[in-house]
């Protein structure tokens, strides 16, 4: 068996093309969706990610504003920035890029963001609405996974889904979305983590395995049931002298081994990653539509 590759890159492109049409329609009615990203400090991955978000916005016609501040910014000054963005009529989405410097309380900053502009889906209000199955801004990475499965006609209803990882960004909201009594959900969910015993045996039960544990090539081929769907959320660097950069990117799944057992599998890169930004844009456009 050779797995079908789930291309997040392809689906994200489709979503952006659909969103571009919606943005043009909004502009025709006098509304330009706006997304503001606050970048504190000089963390290179954060800077790269924010640039990617800004470029993606510009390509589909969303107004993008990046607010950069030094790592030693006072908490009061960051609070003032967020409060200002909350009341600006031209900004529909606000994200404060993680990680923040240690002297800044990241959760406190999240709580300050107006839930109606929380397009990352991290505010407790939106997390709670996700949990009870109400319309809201859903956390972008698990939202992207749900959309990948929908567009590849992978129905989790009645299936056993094993999620590796219990983070607030992926694992927990992923489980909350999958257990809903709703189309594209209705799964039986097991969440495994660092304190779980016999993870390989639990993985072998999975009809759908979602790996978000942050360990390079952690999931091996003999952990996969024949015909399972494998969704790899991880992105890790491994030293590789054969590569020009001296490293290669890989996921939390040993792709070469698991591809032989799975029916569907996401690659790294090009799988889940592009979907996170696509769903951020989706949430931003949805927020702008609320102005109508």
Catalytic residue numbers, as ranges: 53, 97, 120
* CA dist., res. 92 & res. 89, Å (int): 7
* CA dist., res. 128 & res. 122, Å (int): 10
CB atoms within 10 A of CB 111: 15
* CA dist., res. 205 & res. 142, Å (int): 21
Scan for tokens 């529909």, then name that residue: 92
Structure tokens at 205: 């039960």
* Residue spans of beta strands (DSSP E) within the chain: 4-5, 34-40, 63-69, 93-96, 160-164, 188-192, 208-211, 229-232, 236-239, 247-250, 264-265
DSSP 8-state symbol, 261: T
The answer to whether 153 and 280 are in contact (CB under 8 A) is no
* Residue spans of beta strands (DSSP E) within 7-53: 34-40
* CA dist., res. 3 & res. 116, Å (int): 40
* CA dist., res. 58 & res. 101, Å (int): 28
**Of all helices (H) and strands (E), which one includes residue 45?**
helix 44-60
């Amino acid at each position: 068996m050779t797995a079908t590759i789930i291309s997040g890159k392809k689906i994200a492109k489709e979503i952006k093309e659909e969103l571009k049409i919606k943005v043009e329609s909004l502009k025709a009615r006098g509304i330009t969706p706006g997304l503001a990203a606050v970048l504190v400090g000089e963390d290179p991955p954060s800077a790269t990610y924010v640039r990617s978000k800004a470029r993606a916005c510009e390509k589909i016609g969303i107004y993008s504003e990046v607010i950069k501040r030094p790592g030693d910014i006072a908490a009061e000054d960051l609070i003032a920035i967020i409060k200002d963005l909350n009341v600006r009529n031209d900004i529909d989405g606000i994200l404060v890029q993680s990680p923040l410097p240690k002297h800044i309380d990241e959760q406190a900053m999240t709580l300050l963001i107006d839930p109606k502009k929380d397009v990352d889906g991290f505010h407790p209000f939106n997390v709670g609405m996700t949990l009870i199955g109400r319309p809201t801004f859903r956390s972008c990475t698990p939202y992207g996974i749900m959309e990948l499965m929908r567009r590849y006609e992978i129905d989790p209803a009645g299936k056993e889904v094993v999620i590796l990882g219990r983070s607030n960004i992926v694992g927990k909201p992923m489980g909350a979305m999958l257990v809903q009594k709703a189309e594209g959900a209705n799964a039986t969910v097991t969440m495994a983590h660092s304190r779980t015993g016999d993870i390989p045996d639990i993985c072998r039960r999975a009809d759908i395995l979602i790996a978000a544990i942050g360990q390079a090539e952690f999931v091996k081929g003999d952990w996969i049931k024949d015909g399972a769907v494998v969704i790899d959320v991880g992105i890790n660097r491994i030293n590789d002298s054969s590569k020009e950069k001296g490293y290669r990117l890989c996921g939390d799944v040993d792709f070469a081994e698991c591809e032989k057992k799975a029916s569907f599998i996401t690659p790294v890169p090009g799988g889940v990653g592009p979907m996170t930004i696509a769903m951020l844009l989706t949430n931003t456009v949805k927020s702008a539509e609320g102005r109508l």
